[in-house]
Structure 1
Amino acid sequence: MTRKILQPGVHSDLPLVFRAPMSKSMAEMLLAAFDGRAEAEHLVLESREFGLWIVDENTGVRMFIGSTTKESKHAEH
């Protein structure tokens, strides 16, 4: 598995909308949501004012993943 690391300044002109610190347990929960699903199936990741959610559009079931922090319009990160 190769990782693509963005260089400083790459996409820095795009606005930062939200930040979502991701813990190992949150990543494991995200991966666990795919257990038992076919390769072609997908889930939707939603960002709401108070958190990140995984949504199964076939069933309408939502699973809370973690909190987000809304960034100000002029945040510089």
Structure 2
Amino acid sequence: MSAALLPKPQMRGLLAKRLRKHIVVAFVFAFGCAASYKFGVAEPRKRAYADFYKNYDAMKEFEAMRDAGVFESVQPKKK
């Protein structure tokens, strides 16, 4: 008698029904991760590089490294 009270389980289309939900959830999750990476990592990194190279003087940096003896093939500048 208790078997008649239980509803029949859904057998047809169960995979398709569950996949629709899971694909939407996966898409939203992936989009959220991509957006958080772009605005949390990539944009600040681009800004930091732009700020660094705004006032960067390559020759001044080279001369400082040369005077410090970093290069083996370049002699330090005589003072």
TM-score w.r.t. the length of structure 1 is 0.23
Q: Please identify the structure whose Cα radius of gyration is greater.
A: 2
Q: Does 1 or 2 have the higher relative contact order (CA < 8 Å, sep 6+)?
A: 1
Question: Which has a greater percent of helix?
Answer: 2
TM-score w.r.t. the length of structure 2 is 0.22
Question: Which has a greater percent of strand?
Answer: 1
